[in-house]
Structures are given as structure tokens and as C-alpha cells.
Amino acid sequence: MKILFATPELAPWMKSGGLGEISASLPAALHEAGMDVRILVPAYAPLLAAFPDAKLVAEFAHPGGNLLSARLLEAKAGNGLPLLLIDCPAYYVRAGSAYLDGAGNDFADNHLRFGLLSRIAALLAGSASPLRWRPHVLHCNDWPCGLAPAYLHFMGGATASTVMSIHNLAFQGIFPADTLEALGLSAAAYAIDGVEYWGRLSFMKAGLHYAQRITTVSPRYAEEIQTEAFGYGFAGLLRWRNRDLTGILNGIDTRAWDPATDTYLPRRYEFAHMKGKGANKTALRQRLGLAQESSCPLFGAVSRITHQKGLDLLADIGEEIAQLPAQVALLGAGDKRLEAALMSLAARHPERFSVTLGYDEGLAHQIEAGADMFLMPSRFEPCGLNQMYSLRYGTPPIVRATGGLADTVVDCNEATLADDTANGFVFAEISAQALLGTIRRAISAWHDTTLWRKLQCNGMLLDFGWAKAAAAYKEIYAGLGEKKKADRARSPAAADKAGTAA
Ligand code: ADP
């Protein structure tokens, strides 16, 4: 089975959040499960620098509307997976992230930048593809690839089936209606049962409407997005497409995130030898200037600093946390006002709060290993990766019961301790007081060393590898192949042939 995996991010070269990591790990797992996968991604500057010998395999002159011409380069990633890089420096070689400029603003031409990604994905999935390699399935990831199924629908000649994966429905790729022409989309696409969304155009809606199958990154999030509270205006559409929607829990890169081999850690440790974890706590406190108080638990957090992640709740109870006493080591970047509130807390309690603004892979690993517990008070969380890293690092997570957090973290109570499923702490209400209550509960459990060891063991023994997810995606791809065969057999041409044969 041949799969074209289209994505706007690819770790380690371009990563804004979970999608970058997933785009590196899932195709590798699909490959291991026997599929022929190619990753289609814009040729951002770090990718061009990493693959100076990438081979030119196709050219797309005037691919439609006002979209700029582009070249398609092929390279091989370290793990042997072929990469197809869309080379269009005017769109993709810029300072900033995949979506934002250095000042944190969306690039003004994001519709064109990701229109081109979608357009080329569609061209490679149709009969006019310049490549000999033809995918059976085009797998589109998040809004930047959402227009691909719409392009394919209106171009005709689709040779691949389409899957649209939602990694975060809050980002929807909404642009003014008059961008339709620049994007080279048929005017017929601008309809309620098309790409139109409240008088504007939405890339995400295009994907949700035109793709044959929809997946999202946890079973709980698949249910949540069908409700008005989490559906961002798409709940009705998703309920309508309910039979085509599946939640598949992400895996994690168990090679990069393994406390027994993690080269970012000053001391490695494993399930049977946990001593090194204490050394990581000491080193982390030292690095961050936090007091070395043996009876004081240390909470870690590595996150985008946004409303979604609920870090405002943490800021609201900062003074109470300092008095508990407890310490917090936070790494992240995002909303400037929230960053400032957290920084002022750290300035008031330098021995208790450490806030590091920016992106730092090494420190993220050191926080996972050095903290006693990990905080994720998210308002919503499609899947979340850090709670799975925490479980693997013997750092029980404290999470709100939403999305993938609800699917992976089991609250510590008598019943779950008895059946060996307890692995963290879960609260339901979105409030600072609910978070504080759960933090208090976790601290009292932390003081019980036997109980704590059990909690750590339960988490560390879980399997979060990608194999399960890869098998689930394979089943979806295979189902699309079966459906295609059945549709062909039912087509008028097939009926004619059958008639002639008879
Ligand atoms: P999201 O994709 O919503 O941001 P996820 O938990 O799915 O959240 O994935 C976020 C990933 O990015 C995790 O691997 C996390 O460790 C990493 N990350 C987020 N912020 C930072 C940061 N400031 N420094 C290092 N890694 C970070």
C-alpha cells in the first residue's frame, strides 16, 4: 500500500508542536508495518540545508490561481523514508515558524503557502501526477492540507482515496471568501456543503467535507469535537460524518523519550533503578536556581503558554503553591500577557518558581526526568504528548479530564490502586481551585513512598509505542481500498462490461 503523507511540519527541521513530532514518527511506524510511505512537506530553510543533494523530480509551473510555481525535490531522511520537498523559496524560506513571523503574527499569505501544499498533494494523488509513484491514499494533516481533498474533488481523475486527520480543531485555516480565485478553486466549491464557513473559506472544513475518512488523535477527542463546546462550529458536520470519523491515540517516539538512554539527562535511570531520577531533580533545581529542599515536591510543565493549555489557572494559584510549599519548573512560550504573569510569579518567588521562555529540547527532557509530577491543566487537549513522556519517566501527570489526557491518565484512588491502573491525577472542572485541590491530593500521595512507587510503576510499564496506532491507520487505509473496489464494481462502466460478458 502506497501512502502520501502531507504535512506542514516535520521534526526535527520544522516543529511548532505535536504535529511535527507525529509527522516524523507515524510515517516511520507505517513503513515498519509494511507500507510504502512518502512525506510531502514544504522545503523550509532547515530542510533545504539538511538535504543539499535533494534530487529534482518534478516541476509545477503555475499550479493554479495565483499560486507560485514550485519544484518537487526528493530526499531520503535518516530513517530511510523518502521525503518530497516542495521547493518554493518565496513561500517557505523565511524567518519564523511554519505559520508565524518572528513577531508571532500569521504570515499574510498563509492561504497561498498552504494552498500550494494542498494543491501539490492533490496533483500527486490524481491521474495527472508527474511522478511514476502513485499513492493509494493521500493522508492530509490539519488545516494546511485541508484544501487537498477539495482540489482533488474538482480536478477529477483522483487515483488516491483521502484521509483528513485533525490534530487540533481550534486551528481552522479561515480566510476571506475572495481568496477562492487566487487559490484556483472552482467557484462551485464555495457552498455550505463545500468550503464555505460563515461567509468565509475554511481549509479545515474543506478537508472535513471532501475527505473520504476523518481521523483525530484520541478516541475521547473524537467524541468531544461532535459537541458544540469542542466542535468550533464543526460539531454538526462532524456528527453528520460520524460514521467516517475515528479517534486513534498517538504514540510517542520511545527511542527519543526513554529515561534509560536519554542523552539530555545528567543521570539516566530506569524502572528497576530509579535512584538516578533523584539526581536529575537535584541537577534541574541547580540549573534553574530553585532551592534544594528535600520535603518540597517539584512540578514540571513544558507547554505552549496559551489559554488552551490552562496555564492561566496555574498563574492564579501561584501564591498558594509557593506556600504549600511546592516548586514549579515551567518551560514554554506563547501568549505575552500570560508569559508576563508567570514571569512575575517567578520574580516574587525565585526559589519556588522557575519560568524559562523559549524552546529548549534538552530542558524539556530534563524537566520530564527531574520533576516529581507534571502539570497539564488543559482546557482541551486533542491527544497531548507530554503526559505520555511523563508516565514513561516516572513523573505522574496531573491533568484535566479531556481528550487524550482522559484516554491515557487514570486518576489515583482506592479502586484504581487496587487494580494497578492508577498512574496520575485527574480533575474535571476548569477552575484554579480544582487544580489546586488536585495538586494538594498529589502532594499527599507523594509523601507515601510505597504508594508513589506503585503509581510510577503503573505508568512506566505502559506501552506508548506507535505500533498500535500504525495498525489502526492501516485498517482505515485498507478499508478505503475495499470501498474503492466495491464502488468500481458498482459503476455504470462495470455494469456495461458485465452486460457484455453475459
Ligand atoms: P501541542 O501540539 O498542542 O503544542 P503536544 O503535547 O501534543 O501539544 O505536543 C507538544 C510538543 O512540543 C511536546 O513534545 C512538548 O514537549 C514540545 N514542546 C512544547 N513547548 C516546548 C518548549 N518550549 N521547549 C521544548 N519543547 C516544547
Weakly modelled stretches of the chain, pLDDT under 50: 498-502
pLDDT at 17: 82
Residue whose Cα lies nearest atom 26 of ligand 1: it is: 361
The CATH homologous superfamily for domain 2-251+468-495 is Glycogen Phosphorylase B; (3.40.50.2000)
**Separation between Cα atoms, residue 135 and residue 240, nearest integer Å:** 28
**Separation between Cα atoms, residue 394 and residue 275, nearest integer Å:** 11
In this predicted model, what pLDDT tens digit does every residue of 332-375 receive, in sequence order?
Answer: 999 999 999 999 999 999 999 999 999 899 999 999 999 999 99
Residue whose Cα lies nearest atom 19 of ligand 1: it is: 303
Rounded distance from Cα 384 to ligand 1 centre (Å): 8
pLDDT at 190: 96
pLDDT at 491: 62
Rounded distance from Cα 75 to ligand 1 centre (Å): 27
Neighbour-count burial for 111-133, b at 16+ CB within 10 Å, e otherwise: bbbbbbbbbbbbbbbbeebeeee
Mutation to probe ligand 1, out of 303, 361, 383 (largest number of atoms < 8 A from CB): 303
CATH node for 275-460: 3.40.50.2000
**Separation between Cα atoms, residue 285 and residue 340, nearest integer Å:** 22
| DSSP for 371-418, written as a single string | -SEEEE--S--SS-SHHHHHHHTT--EEEES-HHHHHH--B-SHHHHH
**Separation between Cα atoms, residue 99 and residue 8, nearest integer Å:** 9
Average pLDDT for the chain: 95
pTM of this prediction? 0.93
For the record, the C-alpha cell of 480 comes out as 478505503
pLDDT at 494: 56
Residue whose Cα lies nearest atom 18 of ligand 1: it is: 303
Residue whose Cα lies nearest atom 22 of ligand 1: it is: 359
Q: What is the dihedral of CA 306, 410, 21, 373, to 10 degrees?
A: 60
For residue 381, the ligand 1 atom closest to its alpha carbon is 3
| DSSP for 109-134, written as a single string | THHHHHHHHHHHHHHHTBTT-SSS--
| DSSP for 2-54, written as a single string | EEEEE-S-BTTTB-SSHHHHHHHHHHHHHHHTT-EEEEEEE--HHHHHH-TTP
Rounded distance from Cα 425 to ligand 1 centre (Å): 20
275-460 shares the fold of 2-251+468-495 = yes
- Reduced to 3 states, what is the DSSP secondary structure of residue 331? strand
Rounded distance from Cα 15 to ligand 1 centre (Å): 9
Mutation to probe ligand 1, out of 166, 304, 381, 391 (largest number of atoms < 8 A from CB): 304
Rounded distance from Cα 32 to ligand 1 centre (Å): 25
List Cα–Cα distances, 378 to 225, 247, 303, 309, in angstroms.
Answer: 15, 19, 10, 4
pLDDT at 110: 98
Mutation to probe ligand 1, out of 7, 302, 381, 408 (largest number of atoms < 8 A from CB): 302
- Reduced to 3 states, what is the DSSP secondary structure of residue 495? helix
For residue 250, the ligand 1 atom closest to its alpha carbon is 7
Rounded distance from Cα 180 to ligand 1 centre (Å): 33
Residues with CB under 6 Å of ligand 1 are 17-18, 21, 302-304, 331-333, 359-361, 364, 383-386
For residue 361, the ligand 1 atom closest to its alpha carbon is 25
pLDDT at 193: 92
**Hey, where are the domains in the chain?**
2-251+468-495, 275-460
Mutation to probe ligand 1, out of 21, 342, 386 (largest number of atoms < 8 A from CB): 386
Rounded distance from Cα 307 to ligand 1 centre (Å): 15
pLDDT at 501: 41
Give the DSSP letter of residue 207: H
192: exposed, middle or buried (Cβ count in 10 Å: 0-12, 13-18, 19+): exposed
pLDDT at 200: 97
